[in-house]
């Protein structure tokens, strides 16, 4: 007998477990086979530690659970309506022989892709599950049937392969080995992949790839070996140092053209004087020299008569008195402001 099922995370499942006097049957770890409607496939690769081994990521929706042994009340299968089943994520691992088949079908070419004909159909996958069966009421009314709650183990990370599932997915891939890619290009692509992947070990030998002596003869010159990591790092460091030196020189030049900076003062006064001295020319100071006799003499009008008549110049004390009187004449003070205001 087939019956519609509910998931174990349904609120009614917890309510059934709490009810007293309800006849239930709990089954854990039962071997079962689930039916999954495959919606999409994705070809992915493991990490560097596993040599980037390919595998398939299968995504779909749970449609039914078929236990290995019949459940109480003769239940042989639990089904789910479209949109009511849980999401399933399964990971299909290729064995070594399947990888050889994929390589022969052009796995290392650009046109290699996942087949579309294995999506949109139902797959039967092995797994284990927990089940909770709620017995029908004792009245045995018409239409009364048991209720089954299910919980599929590892539904979000189901690991399968050829042996466990019975599906040889390598046979569904199309042959792309001759779709615009010759054996020579296959060798070049494989070598380029090895160089870009830091010289990782290939999953396959030359014999497994089916490359004969003809492909080896076409390639006259071997592919250039990858430069050692130390030499590449040294070259990059030199480039960075050169870029930093160029930026520093540009910054100093801009500072030298900006007025008021230390670099500008050095360029206009110190460096100019040094260049003039090296060329043998007399150094001209950037500012005119002070004429102590005239610039410090504030009373030029009084000095000129003495120079014209030949009279002796006033003494230092007299000059001090003259400067004091001149300063007093220039300093109006508070009294002058009041007199001007009045």
State whether 187 and 167 are in the same domain.
Answer: no
Q: Alpha-carbon distance 83 to 16, whole Å?
A: 24
State whether 162 and 196 are in the same domain.
Answer: no
Cα separations in angstroms, 187 against 110, 218, 278 = 13, 10, 67
State whether 75 and 137 are in the same domain.
Answer: yes
Check whether 124 has a pLDDT greater than 80. yes
297-300 CB contacts, 8 Å cutoff, 24+ apart: 298/323, 298/326, 299/323, 299/326
The three-state secondary structure class of 68 is coil
Q: Assess if residue 255 is contained within a domain.
A: no
Average pLDDT, stretch 75-93? 91
pLDDT at 300: 47
- The candidate with the shortest Cα–Cα distance to 104, out of 212, 191, 201, is 212
Average pLDDT, stretch 218-231? 56
State whether 128 and 187 are in the same domain.
Answer: no
* Helix and strand counts by DSSP (H, E) for the chain: 13, 8
Confidence of residue 296 (pLDDT cuts 50, 70, 90): very low
pLDDT at 208: 58
With beta carbons less than 8 A apart as the criterion, state whether 86 and 62 touch: yes
Cα separations in angstroms, 171 against 117, 175, 207 = 12, 10, 20
Q: Alpha-carbon distance 48 to 197, whole Å?
A: 9
Cα separations in angstroms, 220 against 156, 210, 225, 301 = 50, 19, 15, 102
Q: Which domain holds residue 209?
A: 183-218
CB atoms within 10 A of CB 42: 10
State whether 149 and 25 are in the same domain.
Answer: yes
For 27-69, what is each residue's pLDDT tens digit?
A: 889 999 999 999 999 999 999 999 899 999 999 999 999 999 8
Q: Assess if residue 337 is contained within a domain.
A: no
Domain final position from 172, 206, 241: 172
DSSP for 221-254? SPPPPPPPHHHHHHHHHHHHHHHHHHHHHHHHHH
The token pair that represents 61 in the structure block: 């929706």
Comparing 123 with 318, the larger pLDDT belongs to 123
State whether 165 and 208 are in the same domain.
Answer: no
pLDDT at 310: 56
């Amino acid at each position: 007998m087939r019956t519609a099922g509910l998931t174990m995370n349904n609120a009614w499942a917890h309510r059934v477990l709490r009810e007293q006097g309800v006849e239930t049957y709990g089954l854990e770890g039962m071997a079962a086979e689930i039916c999954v409607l495959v919606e999409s496939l994705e070809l992915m690769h493991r990490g560097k530690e596993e040599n980037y081994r390919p595998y398939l990521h299968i995504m779909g929706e749970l449609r039914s659970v078929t236990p290995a042994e019949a459940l109480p009340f003769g239940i042989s299968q639990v089904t789910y309506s479209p949109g009511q089943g849980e999401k399933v994520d399964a990971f299909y691992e290729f064995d070594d022989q399947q990888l050889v088949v994929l390589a022969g079908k052009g796995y290392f070419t650009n046109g290699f892709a996942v087949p579309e004909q294995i999506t949109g159909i139902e797959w039967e996958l092995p797994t284990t599950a927990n089940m909770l069966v709620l017995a029908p009421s004792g009245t045995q009314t018409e239409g009364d049937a048991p209720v089954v709650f299910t919980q599929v183990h590892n539904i979000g990370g189901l690991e399968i392969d050829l042996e466990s599932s019975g599906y040889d997915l390598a046979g569904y891939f199309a042959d792309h080995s001759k779709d615009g890619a010759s054996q020579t290009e296959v060798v070049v692509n494989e070598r380029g992949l090895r160089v870009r992947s830091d010289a990782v070990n290939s999953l396959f030998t030359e014999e497994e790839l089916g490359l004969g002596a003809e492909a080896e003869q076409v390639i006259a010159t071997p592919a250039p070996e990858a430069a050692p990591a130390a030499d590449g790092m040294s070259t990059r460091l030199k480039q960075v140092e050169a870029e930093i030196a160029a930026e520093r020189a540009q910054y100093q030049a801009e500072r030298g053209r900006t007025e008021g900076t230390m670099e500008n003062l050095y360029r206009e006064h110190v460096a100019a004087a040094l260049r003039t001295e090296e060329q043998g020319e007399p150094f001209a100071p950037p500012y005119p020299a002070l004429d102590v006799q005239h610039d410090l003499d504030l009373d030029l009008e009084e000095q000129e008569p003495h120079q014209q008549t030949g009279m002796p110049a006033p003494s230092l004390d007299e000059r001090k008195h003259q400067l004091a009187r001149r300063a007093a004449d220039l300093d109006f003070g508070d009294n002058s402001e009041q007199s001007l205001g009045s």
